[in-house]
Amino acid sequence: MKYKKYKQYRLPGYDYSDEGNYFVTICTFNREEYFGKIVNDEMILSDAGKIVNQIWNEIPEKFENVKLDVYQIMPDHFHGIIKICRNLIHQIPIPNEFKSGIRNNPMELKSISLGRIIRWFKGRSRFEIERMIPNFKWQSRFYDRVIRDNKEFDFISEYIVNNPLNWHNNILENYFM
């Protein structure tokens, strides 16, 4: 069996459960526009987009060591900043029954990392959206970037907030995808 070779996007040797700010972009499969439309430079959420919004905002309830910052749902993708707070990780035991969030996958998770958070988010939102749109899928992977300083944080935050304004000209979209 041949396996596809994927470009490695993760920072080699970096522990994605470490404290820090992480910029994530998650796309729908084949960039299908399920989440709404841009009207007058404003994102109008569809029912599927409202589910993504709801599930994203549940992340801090599911993962107590996580805070959310700015995010933007777009017609075919999602941008957000997640902050993992290391000092809280040590205070919170990971329950034995904490599962991966993927249907029929009994794998227990040993740490709370960016990948685990996104896996839960994608699995939970897909489960809910499939009730309305049976063929809904996310792309199998997601883009992430470790935000290294305040200047980069401000730049990415501004990019996320202004994403609907740039929807039609996609000036920076290829930079982050």
Per-residue pLDDT reduced to its tens digit, 62-103 = 998 899 999 999 999 999 999 999 765 444 444 544 454 555
What range does the domain containing 84 cover? 20-166
Number of domains, the chain: 1
In a domain, residue 13? The reply is: no
Question: Model confidence over 141-158: pLDDT tens digits?
Answer: 899 999 999 999 999 999
Residue 112 lies in a domain: yes
Residue 32: pLDDT band (50, 70, 90) is very high
Q: SS3 for 98?
A: coil
Confidence (pTM): 0.79
- Residue 105: exposed, middle, or buried by beta-carbon count in 10 A (0-12, 13-18, 19+)? exposed
In-domain check, residue 1 = no
Does residue 72 lie in a domain region? yes
Residue 7 domain-assigned (yes or no): no
Report yes or no on 11 lying in a domain: no
Evaluate whether residue 9 is within a structural domain: no
CATH code of residue 132: 3.30.70.1290
Q: Is 171 within a domain?
A: no
